[in-house]
Amino acid sequence: MFSLTSKVALVTGATGGIGAAIARQLHRQGAVVVITGTRESVLNELAAGLGKERVHAVTADLSDPASADQLIARAEEAAGAPLDILVNNAGLTRDMLAIRMKDEDWDKVINVDLSSPFRLCRAALKGMLRRRSGRIINIASVVGATGNAGQANYTAAKAGLVGMTKSLAQEAGARGVTLNVVAPGFIATPMTDVLPEAQKEKLVGAIPLARMGTPDDVASAVLYLASDEAAWVTGSTLHVNGGMAMI
Amino acid sequence: MSEIADKVKKIVVEHLGVEESKVTPEASFIDDLGADSLDTVELVMAFEEAFNVEIPEDAAEKIATVKDAIDYIEAQKKAA
């Protein structure tokens, strides 16, 4: 089950907590993994942790459209084979209440969290449609469905990702290429570690499964959607949030 | 048959996996050659790449038959 032997996978934002877990799980299942991020040293560390085989590190700044446009070709060159699995995990936040939010805070988040995944999907789909196989998994967020004060830009991008994925799933369906979304809830990462203890307790109190999620909880969902076993699942959103929002 | 026509035919055969004999000038990509909407977009992109021309969306929509494609590309090449 869930074997990815000889599949080539690209994971963006692999230097983050969730991205690294995704890269590790896909690698463990036999995939050739291309990891990408902006921080070269962290990327190389992660690559070394995965072992010498079947791992390639490619630095890329996805806020640059040209860099996003070229990334698929660079990944395929590094792996020496066409791409089978694309995981759009890279993202950033610029949180603040809307009345304080500047255009650049809005634009930056929409560009990296929505436009860049579109560019990567577009580039990846060209080859996948021709080869009549492929898996794309876009990482959104529970707040894309529920909204969240202080995150108008981020939630718009993540909700946009869901709509985009559904459209692309319809366009690619006839070729056996699937696109799905994984929407994580409250996950323990370096980003959430800094929250005050009282706030964490309150957040966990709203989760029926009574704990924060782990990066591996998210990665397991990605692994399923990347596998042959998920061949008949497309355009769907898999919520991984401990029951915090049952949608 | 012109060089362009030959190349167009070859691309169509390759992309749609149809027999060469079926790729007549009058053949419609969708009605006669079994293409779906995605195939037609892929064909246009293949033409663009092979002939180094740009086929804008409104022109692409009018390319329904093999002859349409050949005529359009020949006109572009002459204009260049």
Going from N- to C-terminal start, the domains of chain B cover: 3-79
CATH number of the domain bearing residue A107: 3.40.50.720
Q: Per-residue pLDDT for A96 more than 80?
A: yes
Is residue A242 included in any domain, yes or no? no
CB contact under 8 A, B45 and A130: no
DSSP-H helix ranges across chain B: 3-16, 37-51, 57-62, 66-79
Q: Per-residue pLDDT for B2 more than 90?
A: no
Q: For B40-62, what is the mean pLDDT?
A: 94
Q: At what angle do helices B3-16 and B37-51 cross, to 10 degrees?
A: 140
Confirm or reject contact between A201 and chain B (CB < 8 A).
no
Is residue A245 included in any domain, yes or no? no
pLDDT of residue B69: 97
As for how many domains chain A has, the answer is: 1
DSSP-H helix ranges across chain A: 17-28, 40-50, 65-79, 103-110, 116-131, 142-146, 152-172, 190-193, 197-205, 215-226
**Of residues A76, A154, A160, A238, which has the active-site annotation?**
A154
Write out pLDDT tens, residues A25-81: 999 999 999 999 999 999 999 999 999 899 999 999 999 999 999 999 999 999 999
DSSP-H helix ranges across A2-83: 17-28, 40-50, 65-79
Q: At what angle do helices A116-131 and A152-172 cross, to 10 degrees?
A: 10
pLDDT of residue A18: 95
**Does the domain spanning B3-79 belong to CATH 1.10.1200.10?**
yes
Q: Percentage of chain B with pLDDT > 70?
A: 99
Q: For A90-109, what is the mean pLDDT?
A: 96
Domain span at residue A93 reads 8-237
CB contact under 8 A, A129 and B42: yes
Is residue A1 included in any domain, yes or no? no
| Residue A224 is a catalytic residue | no
Supply the mean pLDDT for chain B: 94
Kindly identify which residue of chain A lies nearest to residue B37, measuring between CA atoms: A171
Q: Which residues of A touch B36 (CB under 8 A)?
A: 174
CB contact under 8 A, B45 and A126: yes
pLDDT of residue B1: 61
Q: Which residues of B touch A126 (CB under 8 A)?
A: 45
Q: At what angle do helices B3-16 and B66-79 cross, to 10 degrees?
A: 130
Write out pLDDT tens, residues A117-141: 999 999 999 999 999 999 999 999 9
Write out pLDDT tens, residues A206-216: 999 999 999 99
Separation in Å, CA of B11 to nearest CA in chain A:
13
Is residue A247 included in any domain, yes or no? no
Q: Per-residue pLDDT for B80 more than 80?
A: no
Write out pLDDT tens, residues A156-167: 999 999 999 999
Write down the ipTM of this complex.
0.80
pLDDT of residue A238: 98
